[in-house]
């Protein structure tokens, strides 16, 4: 892993792009799990309690690391580790969000606005002090529209933004050993698209008969696809369905709204200093530079 010039985030993006393709992993790309890492890092935010969010990279420590909702994200963290080790000037919190944004773009998705300046909690105690009680803040796939609005309302998102963000399920898959659920949402899960919305609208989703948790299934082009109860809630709920219909019909609109909403998501809870480069500024101060 190359050491790049301090502050050269474009070069860090290049390093991320180099490791995206992993033939032995899932569908051949770690892109989807990187996106999920950025989302789970940010999705703990509470506008009510003013804590959680993308600052800190708390998933390296105790409670957040062990949160069952984050099962499997150690894969993403482990793949990114060599980039951080070769470039210790970038914070984990910046790297995790930047990797998510870069993965989205590399998989054919929109450019998501991203700005540096997240700080890392240095120790487990610091993480606990800053974060308080932030477990159980991520959505539960077995629930319905009320739950989704509770969870995303706490972060400050509207129905439109909730539906746009949910379109990230055009990427990746569920793993029985992580969430208990099983399978991808779309036929090509390493390509960012509006397929998820199209499939929600067009397929006859049936409850899957199996030993695992309740989920829906449909077979498309010979591939078994899935939907979570929370995915189906987006079409069952009248207000959210309007946005599913719009995004199924208009890919550009989805890309635009997704980029805005994901950009907002990864800004949640960021404590940035005036320069926008908190860590670099701190380091410069330590070295006695102006
Ligand atoms: Fe998700 N998601 N997600 N999701 N998600 C899972 C996988 C991925 C929910 C549940 C699950 C978002 C919203 C929701 C991604 C991105 C995003 C899995 C499977 C479950 C379960 C985990 C596993 O077994 O590996 C629920 C519930 C919601 C909800 O909103 C109610 C959002 C908002 C995003 C986002 O990125 C903005 C991605 C990508 C994956 C695929 C990960 C992988 O490893 O592949």
pLDDT per residue as tens digits for the range 4-27 = 999 999 999 999 999 999 999 999
Query: What local confidence, expressed as pLDDT, does residue 284 receive?
Result: 46
Query: What local confidence, expressed as pLDDT, does residue 239 receive?
Result: 98
Residue 287: pLDDT band by 50, 70, 90 thresholds? low
Pick the CATH number of 9-138+263-286 from 1.25.40.10, 3.40.50.300, 3.90.170.10, 1.10.520.10: 1.10.520.10
Report the helix count and the strand count for the chain, using DSSP H and E.
Answer: 13, 5
Residue 64: pLDDT band by 50, 70, 90 thresholds? confident
Identify which has the larger pLDDT, 217 or 270. 217
Measured from the CA of 141, which atom of ligand 1 is nearest? 27
Cα–ligand 1 centroid distance for 40 (angstroms): 9
CA distance 234 to 240: 5
Question: Are 190 and 31 contacting, i.e. CB atoms less than 8 angstroms apart?
Answer: yes
Residue 7 Cα to chain centre, angstroms: 23
Q: Pairing mode, if any, of strands 206-207 and 223-227?
A: unpaired
- Among candidates 100, 33, 95, 41, which has minimal Cα distance to 65? 41
Measured from the CA of 261, which atom of ligand 1 is nearest? 37
Question: Are 57 and 91 contacting, i.e. CB atoms less than 8 angstroms apart?
Answer: yes
The structural architecture, per CATH, of the domain 145-261 is Orthogonal Bundle (1.10)
CA distance 166 to 224: 20
Ligand 1 in reach of 35 Cβ (< 6 A)? yes
Cα–ligand 1 centroid distance for 123 (angstroms): 28
Ligand 1 in reach of 172 Cβ (< 6 A)? yes
Judge if pTM exceeds 0.90. yes
Cα–ligand 1 centroid distance for 279 (angstroms): 30
Region of 40 please: left (phi>0), alpha (psi -120 to 50) or beta.
Answer: alpha
79 membership: H or E segment, kind and range: helix 73-86
- Assess whether the region 9-138+263-286 and the region 145-261 belong to the same CATH fold: no
What's the rounded mean pLDDT across residues 89-97? Answer: 96
Query: What's the CA dihedral at 67, 231, 173, 157 to 10 degrees?
Result: -60
Any idea where the domains of the chain sit in the sequence? 9-138+263-286, 145-261
Q: Which residues are catalytic?
A: 40, 185
Q: Residue 85: which residues within 8 A CB-CB, separation 6 or more?
A: 1
Q: Pairing mode, if any, of strands 216-220 and 223-227?
A: antiparallel
Measured from the CA of 262, which atom of ligand 1 is nearest? 37
CB-based burial of residue 287 (10 Å sphere; 0-12 exposed, 13-18 middle, 19+ buried)?
Answer: exposed
CB-based burial of residue 128 (10 Å sphere; 0-12 exposed, 13-18 middle, 19+ buried)?
Answer: middle
Ligand 1 in reach of 186 Cβ (< 6 A)? no
């Amino acid at each position: 892993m190359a050491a790049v010039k301090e502050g050269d985030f474009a070069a860090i993006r290049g390093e991320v792009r180099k490791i995206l393709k992993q033939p032995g992993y899932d569908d051949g790309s770690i892109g989807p799990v990187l996106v999920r890492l950025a989302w789970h890092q940010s999705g703990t935010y509470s506008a009510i309690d003013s804590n959680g969010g993308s600052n800190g990279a708390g998933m390296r420590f105790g409670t957040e690391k062990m949160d069952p909702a984050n099962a499997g994200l150690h894969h993403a963290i482990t793949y990114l580790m060599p980039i951080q080790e070769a470039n210790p000037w970038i914070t984990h919190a910046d790297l995790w969000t930047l990797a998510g944004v870069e993965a989205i773009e590399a998989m054919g998705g929109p450019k998501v606005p991203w700005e540096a300046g997240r700080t890392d909690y240095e120790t487990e105690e610091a993480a606990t002090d800053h974060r308080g009680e932030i477990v159980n803040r991520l959505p539960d796939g077995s629930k319905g529209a009320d739950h989704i609005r509770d969870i995303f309302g706490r972060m400050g998102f509207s129905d439109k933004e909730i539906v746009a963000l949910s379109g990230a399920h055009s990427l990746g898959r569920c793993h029985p050993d992580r969430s208990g659920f099983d399978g991808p949402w779309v036929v090509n899960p390493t390509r960012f698209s509006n397929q998820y919305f199209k499939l929600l609208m067009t397929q006859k989703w049936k409850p899957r008969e199996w030993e695992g948790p309740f989920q829906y299934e449909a077979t498309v082009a010979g591939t078994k696809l899935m939907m979570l109860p929370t995915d189906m809630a987006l079409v069952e709920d009248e207000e959210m369905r309007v946005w599913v219909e719009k995004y199924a019909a208009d890919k550009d609109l989805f890309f635009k709204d997704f980029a805005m909403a994901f950009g907002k998501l990864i800004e949640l809870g960021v404590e940035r200093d005036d320069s926008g480069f908190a860590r670099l500024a701190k380091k410069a101060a330590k070295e006695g530079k102006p």
